[in-house]
Amino acid sequence: MLTRLTDRALRSLCAQGAVAAAPEMLGLIVVSNRPEGRCAVRITEVEAYVEHDPASHSFRGVTPRTAPMFGPPGHWYVYFTYGMHWCVNVSCGPRGTGEAVLLRAAVPIAGMELLRARRGKAGRAPDRSLMDGPAKLAQALGCTGDDTALPAIGAHARPLRLTDDGGRIALDRVTGRVGISVAQDLRWRFCAAEAPVRKVPGERPLSG
């Protein structure tokens, strides 16, 4: 039988904190509903960031940029990085706590043409590698700073909604986080089998 997490359960999950919530987000879907069209993706890779964590944007306290991390759980935190990329997170932990789960990769489940079009030239990549990075995922979903601090959960969450369609995918491996130079011992990257292998602490260089 098909079981689905309710919006209430999803909010409760986010409230538990980023480390607890992150692995449970594998298999959840993000529905993007914008004027140019509708699309949906299934989450295959996430990372947890907490407040007393030098790799976290919340480590140095509240700023206009990081405020959504400290807001109520279950809201989007979208930030701009490397001068050209957006990345999408879901705020976690109770209000006042600076935690979030970074959505690092996903596979398409609806609105393929739109997802591919938004990725531009790279839209010709196979499904598996169309959104195999946080900025690629954000681009495919059409995310920008306009989305930051908006609620992520609920029937009226728009233009971006985190929800459960009942489709589940298994946690395949747990590794250190990608692209950070501190706190590399913390294994807070959670991957489904579909997620890309990368050179990070804890990742096995060979598959199988």
Interface residue list for DNA (CB under 7 A)? 47, 49, 55-58, 60, 63-66, 69, 77, 79-85, 87, 89, 100, 102, 119-122, 133-137, 177-182, 199
Q: Which two tokens stand for residue 151?
A: 């609620």
Interatomic CA distance for residues 173 and 181, integer angstroms:
21
Nearer Cβ to DNA, position 31 or 50?
Answer: 50
Q: How far is the CB of 119 from DNA (least distance, A)?
A: 6
Nearer Cβ to DNA, position 2 or 84?
Answer: 84
Query: What CA–CA distances, in Å, run from 42 to 29, 32, 49, 64, 176?
Result: 4, 12, 21, 30, 22
Q: Which two tokens stand for residue 156?
A: 């009226």
Nearer Cβ to DNA, position 83 or 208?
Answer: 83
Nearer Cβ to DNA, position 58 or 175?
Answer: 58
Phi then psi for 116, rounded to 5 degrees? -70, -40
Q: How far is the CB of 170 from DNA (least distance, A)?
A: 22
Q: Which two tokens stand for residue 168?
A: 């589940």
Is 75:90 a contact under the CB 8 Å cutoff? yes
Q: Residues 70, 72, 78, 82: what is their CA dihedral angle, to the nearest 10 degrees?
A: 20
Nearer Cβ to DNA, position 31 or 76?
Answer: 76
Q: How far is the CB of 133 from DNA (least distance, A)?
A: 2
Nearer Cβ to DNA, position 4 or 85?
Answer: 85
Q: How far is the CB of 8 from DNA (least distance, A)?
A: 25
Closest to 36 measured CA to CA, from 147, 159, 124? 159
Instruction: Give residues with Cβ within 8 angstroms of 60, minimum separation 6.
Output: none
Interatomic CA distance for residues 207 and 192, integer angstroms:
13
Closest to 30 measured CA to CA, from 45, 8, 18, 20? 45
Q: How far is the CB of 30 from DNA (least distance, A)?
A: 15
Q: How far is the CB of 166 from DNA (least distance, A)?
A: 27
